[in-house]
Amino acid sequence: MRSLPLIFLGVFFTLALSWVGIVLVGHLQLGDLEPASAVLVNQEAEPIAGVFFRDDRTGAYRMGANQPGEPVFPIQLTGSAQRGKRIYESMGCIYCHSQQVRRQGFGSDFERGWGDRQSVPRDYIHHERVMLGTMRTGPDLSNVGLRYSELWQHQHLFNPQITSPGSIMPRYAFLYEVRPISEDRGPSPRAIQIPDAFHPGPGLEVVPTQRAVDLVAYLMNLRQDYDLPEIRRAE
Amino acid sequence: MSVPASIATAIDPRTESPEAIRVRLSEVDTSMKVPGVFFMISALFWLMAGTVFALIAAIKFHNVDFLGDSEAFTFGRVRSAHLNAMIYGWGTNVIFAVAPWIMGRLCRTRIRFTNILVIGGVFWNIGVTIGIFGILAGDKIGVEWLEMPAYATPLLAIAFACTGVWVVLLFRWRESGHVYVSQWYFLAAFFWLPWLYTIAQIMLVFEPARGVVQSLTNWWFAHNVLGLWLTPIALGAAYYLIPKVLGRPIYSYYLSVIGFWSLALFYNWAGVHHLIGGPIPAWLISAGTVASVMMVIPVIVVAINHHMTVVGLHKEGWASPTIRFVVFGAINYTAVSLLGSAMALRSVNEVTHFTHFTVGHAHHGVYSFFTMIMFGAVYYMMPRLLNREWPSAMLISLHWWATAVGVTLMVVVLSLGGWIQGLRLNAISDDGTVVYQFMEVMEYLNPYMVMRSLTGVLITIGHVAFFINFFWMLCQRPDPRTPARPTLLTNEA
Amino acid sequence: MEFTSYIILGLFFSSFLFIGAACVLYWAYRNGQLNNLEAGARSIFDEEEEPLGTQTDFFPDKRRKSKR
């Protein structure tokens, strides 16, 4: 073990092996996933169960095609929601919130109401930044858009104690503008309701900045409530 | 002679006069003085900055109002500022100080053109500074361990090219006929990190992969920064320092060969265990679990080698600051790795995943193991670089006790709290409802979070002691009565 | 592509890697890379400056007291 090329070859191949195995093969298997309809069809346009079907003539397994005329999922985020994803990223939400529902029986994700089906790779194909998360200091957010209203999200971001007393989530009040109510135009239509105990004071209103609007738009779009061919829903 | 060849000859130390070929250790030490001191000063400032970020983040867990209205210091940003300051600021700078020095000593070649190391160091520190300001300013990338914004990375690449290539070149120019196990670890680490970092940058930042392939790349990268950068450097340093300080060769050199190659083979597959239960193909998760369990082989091998070398010399070891830190680190390497293998099992992971147990485990690995060994290496290296004694034995003791007790308590608190957190989060009653509401579990954790902050304060005290001792040593004038000796701290004095 | 063809491809590549690794190991053995490994363990000691059998690090104030 004295030769530099020998050591180099060894360390090169060991890392190359894991890169090929985990990243490259992972990419080959998952990199070309496309949005799909809830049920796929075979070449005779008959619905099939799951993703693959057996071609009777050749005996080979083939991937089904999307059912014509049916909507395909997941859908691409646009506009405000897409900008909101960047806010989510820059605030470091990922350090306390995951975005993955584990299967029933593994953990308590279903029982906590975080989702009624397991998350699958196809759910994430449109995420420019996949933030599955590794910590649950707060609840999972895969389906947070289904659980709460926009007002709830704004109040919760402005001060989590309004909606979740005792929470250790930081407040994002800096995404909101606290300003005097205009005497000419009256209260802003965009202002959010704040309960008296948390209200900044009489004659003031709390108006979300564009960043807050975007972030809430993103959160409201976090939903895995559509069916995909690979999902076997819990009965 | 062609131009590149003549440059290569000019910087090749072997082209010197024959009588200078036998390079003494003291000459290696002297040649590393400037870059070593530079990297150590940088590392220490990052250590202090990282500690401050850590305390802020820890306090926020039990006091939401603390810096609650500051956008730059919101939890999500301070936490990643802490991680990046520690890994890329403290960890990598201290590696740049220690690794070329040990490499030079083992290759018996003095380190030439050290300006290149210093230039690399300047770029590296500017890069990390920009990166951390970028994180606090909100330009962070939502990939764990890779948060520094894309505009900081070219600087880091230049910096690594300067320092990393230099370490490999040192090996190329070695004078010693033997190659020691530490040299494999260092060489491998200095090959692995740039490759990992480049691929992660390409596949996650410049041309992001589609869907969950990002998550796979993320954890392949992040776990390997620990496994293929910090770990081999710390193991290599321990393989050098334990026998060197105790004056006893390593227990079994054969075993170290097996240990090295099994680590190289298995560690880089293990990262997938961070995605157990996630939307990832089951076979990949199984591969990650298998590799994590196979890590038992290199861990046991290294444990035999390190611990058997120390056996019987505990009293002598206790008298050496280096051995105190390094053996503490080596013991924790065994512990943290075996725990890590267990945590990759699905049934254990179901409890520990998403909880503070994982946070405790990360500190167990990066602090109790890596950082403690690096502290030991610095205690051995600095007197030899500066030809000066550490000014205060009391501060060394304080450093050791505060950090060893502090981090052990922290790991115990986080592991215990995290385990109960995981059990309570998963608890389901017979009628299919959860036993504990989410908020109840979080409120239960509050005292653990307070204790975690207290252990953090203890560790901070240790860091301050180290900081003072280091700069006191730098400011000291060499004692004119002691003649310059090649190495200090020997019992002949 | 059928699943069996993936497996055949995988087997092909893994046997390729395995044979490669075996060849390299054989070369290393023939080349003497694995000879006299234990001597490497003593290569870190230096007769003049930091010899085998001598402890080389102490707390600053305890230097004189320790003797082995």
Name the average pLDDT for chain B.
90
Q: What distance in Å separates the CA atoms of residue B327 and residue B372, rounded to the nearest whole number?
A: 9
Percent of chain B residues past pLDDT 70, beyond the cut = 92
Whole-number pLDDT of residue A62: 84
Residue A117 tokens, joined: 């089906």
Residue B399 tokens, joined: 């450093």
Q: What distance in Å separates the CA atoms of residue A49 and residue A30, rounded to the nearest whole number?
A: 20
The alpha carbon of residue C23 is apart from the nearest alpha carbon of chain B, in Å, by 16
- Residue B174: pLDDT band (50, 70, 90) is confident
Give the residue from chain B lying closest to A173, CA to CA.
B69
Q: Is B477 exposed, middle or buried (0-12, 13-18, 19+ CB in 10 A)?
A: exposed
Q: Which of C37, C46, C57 sits opposite B25 (nearest CB)?
A: C46
Domain locations in chain B? 22-176
pLDDT, tens digit (0-9, with 9 covering 90-100), for B425-470: 999 999 989 999 999 999 999 999 999 999 999 999 999 999 999 9
- Kindly state whether B144 is in contact with chain A, defined as any CB-CB distance less than 8 angstroms: yes
* Cβ count near A188 (within 10 Å): 15
Interface of A with B in 119-138 (CB under 8 A): 119-125, 127-137
Angle in degrees, CA A114, A117, A123, rounded to 5: 95
| H-state helical runs in B279-392 | 282-294, 296-310, 314-318, 321-343, 346-352, 356-363, 372-386
| Contact in structure between B428 and A108 (CB atoms under 8 Å) | yes
The helix-helix angle for B296-310 and B321-343 (nearest 10°) equals 160
Mean pLDDT, rounded, for A166-171: 94
Using DSSP's 3-state secondary structure scheme, residue A1 falls into: coil
Distances (CA, A) of A167 to A114, A146, B456: 18, 21, 23
Give the H or E element holding residue A108: none
Q: Which of A25, A108, A130 sits opposite B214 (nearest CB)?
A: A130
Amino acid at B415: S
Whole-number pLDDT of residue C63: 52
Q: Which residues of B touch A107 (CB under 8 A)?
A: 277, 350, 353, 425-426
Q: What distance in Å separates the CA atoms of residue B489 and residue A152, rounded to the nearest whole number?
A: 66
Percent of chain B residues past pLDDT 90, beyond the cut = 76
- Closest Cα partner for B416 from B404, B424, B405, B427? B424
Whole-number pLDDT of residue B97: 96
At residue A111, does pLDDT exceed 80?
yes
Positions of chain C with pLDDT under 70: 1-3, 62-68
CB–CB contact C37 B257 (8 Å) = yes
* Residue A91, φ and ψ in degrees, nearest 5: -85, -10
Domain locations in chain C? 1-33
| H-state helical runs in chain C | 3-30, 37-42
| Contact in structure between B104 and B186 (CB atoms under 8 Å) | no
- Kindly state whether C58 is in contact with chain B, defined as any CB-CB distance less than 8 angstroms: yes
Sequence-distant (6+) residues with CB within 8 A of B129 are none
Per-residue 3-state assignment (H helix, E strand, C coil) for B219-235: HHHHHHHHHHHHHHHHH
At residue B146, does pLDDT exceed 90?
yes
Whole-number pLDDT of residue A233: 59
Q: What distance in Å separates the CA atoms of residue B382 and residue C59, rounded to the nearest whole number?
A: 13
Whole-number pLDDT of residue A152: 96
- Kindly state whether A16 is in contact with chain C, defined as any CB-CB distance less than 8 angstroms: no
At residue A148, does pLDDT exceed 60?
yes
Whole-number pLDDT of residue B125: 97
Whole-number pLDDT of residue B303: 94
Q: What distance in Å separates the CA atoms of residue B174 and residue B179, rounded to the nearest whole number?
A: 9
pTM: 0.91
- Closest Cα partner for B444 from B466, B423, B468? B423
Whole-number pLDDT of residue B459: 97
Sequence-distant (6+) residues with CB within 8 A of A45 are A68
DSSP character at residue C61: G
Chains that touch B (3 or more CB pairs under 8 A): A, C
pLDDT, tens digit (0-9, with 9 covering 90-100), for B63-96: 999 998 999 999 999 999 999 999 999 999 999 9
Mean pLDDT, rounded, for B166-192: 87
Chains that touch A (3 or more CB pairs under 8 A): B, C
| Contact in structure between A98 and A204 (CB atoms under 8 Å) | no
- Residue A178: pLDDT band (50, 70, 90) is very high
Q: What distance in Å separates the CA atoms of residue B220 and residue B224, rounded to the nearest whole number?
A: 6
Domains and CATH numbers, chain A: 33-72 (no CATH), 79-220 (1.10.760.10)
Whole-number pLDDT of residue C24: 83
Whole-number pLDDT of residue B21: 45
* Stronger pLDDT, B31 or C5, i.e. the higher one: B31
Mean pLDDT, rounded, for B294-320: 92
* Residue A41, φ and ψ in degrees, nearest 5: -125, 155
Mean pLDDT, rounded, for B297-307: 94
User: How many CA atoms within 13 Å lie on the side-chain side of B165?
Assistant: 10
| Contact in structure between B374 and B402 (CB atoms under 8 Å) | no
DSSP character at residue A204: E
User: How many CA atoms within 13 Å lie on the side-chain side of B426?
Assistant: 21
Q: What is the ipTM of this complex?
A: 0.93
DSSP character at residue A65: E
Q: Is A66 exposed, middle or buried (0-12, 13-18, 19+ CB in 10 A)?
A: middle
Mean pLDDT, rounded, for A101-127: 93
pLDDT, tens digit (0-9, with 9 covering 90-100), for B225-257: 999 999 999 999 999 999 999 999 999 888 888
CB–CB contact B354 A135 (8 Å) = yes
* Cβ count near A5 (within 10 Å): 8
Q: What distance in Å separates the CA atoms of residue A144 and residue A101, rounded to the nearest whole number?
A: 12
Q: What distance in Å separates the CA atoms of residue B429 and residue A191, rounded to the nearest whole number?
A: 42
Buried b (16+ CB within 10 A) or exposed e, B269-308: bbbbbbbbbbbbbeebbebbbebbbbbbbbbbbbbbbbee
Whole-number pLDDT of residue B341: 95
* Stronger pLDDT, A19 or C17, i.e. the higher one: A19
Q: Which of C17, C24, C40 sits opposite A9 (nearest CB)?
A: C24
* Residue A230, φ and ψ in degrees, nearest 5: -85, 0
Mean pLDDT, rounded, for A31-45: 89
Q: Which residues of C touch A9 (CB under 8 A)?
A: 24
Whole-number pLDDT of residue B418: 97
Mean pLDDT, rounded, for B38-64: 96
Which CATH fold topology does B22-176 show? Answer: Four Helix Bundle (Hemerythrin (Met), subunit A) (1.20.120)
Give the β-pairing of A204-208 and A176-180: antiparallel
Q: Which of A3, A17, A60 sits opposite C33 (nearest CB)?
A: A3
Range in A15-19, B102-106, C46-50 with the lowest mean pLDDT: C46-50
- Residue B16: pLDDT band (50, 70, 90) is very low
Mean pLDDT, rounded, for B209-215: 93
Range in B105-109, B288-292, B350-354 with the lowest mean pLDDT: B105-109
- Kindly state whether A141 is in contact with chain B, defined as any CB-CB distance less than 8 angstroms: no
At residue B381, does pLDDT exceed 90?
yes
* Stronger pLDDT, B427 or A43, i.e. the higher one: B427
Q: Which of A6, A60, A61 sits opposite C33 (nearest CB)?
A: A6
Whole-number pLDDT of residue B119: 94
Q: What distance in Å separates the CA atoms of residue B371 and residue A20, rounded to the nearest whole number?
A: 31
Percent of chain A residues past pLDDT 70, beyond the cut = 97
Whole-number pLDDT of residue C43: 80
Give the residue from chain B lying closest to C60, CA to CA.
B393
Whole-number pLDDT of residue B484: 47
Whole-number pLDDT of residue B57: 96
Q: What distance in Å separates the CA atoms of residue B160 and residue B121, rounded to the nearest whole number?
A: 8
Q: Which residues of A touch B143 (CB under 8 A)?
A: 129
- Kindly state whether B245 is in contact with chain C, defined as any CB-CB distance less than 8 angstroms: yes
Q: What distance in Å separates the CA atoms of residue B467 and residue B395, rounded to the nearest whole number?
A: 10
Which residue shows structure tokens 């069996």? C4
* Cβ count near A59 (within 10 Å): 8
Residue B138 tokens, joined: 């909100």
Distances (CA, A) of A96 to B79, B326, C17: 11, 34, 42
Most confident of A206-215, B109-118, B475-484: A206-215
Give the β-pairing of A176-180 and A65-66: unpaired
Amino acid at A144: V
Residue B261 tokens, joined: 């190659």
- Closest Cα partner for B239 from B320, B316, B183? B183
Whole-number pLDDT of residue B482: 52
* Cβ count near B397 (within 10 Å): 14
Q: Which of C38, C40, C55 sits opposite B491 (nearest CB)?
A: C55
At residue B176, does pLDDT exceed 80?
no
Give the residue from chain A lying closest to B73, CA to CA.
A91
Angle in degrees, CA B111, B115, B119, rounded to 5: 125
Whole-number pLDDT of residue B481: 53
Distances (CA, A) of B93 to B86, B100, B374, B426, B469: 10, 11, 11, 41, 18
Residue B441 tokens, joined: 């579990």
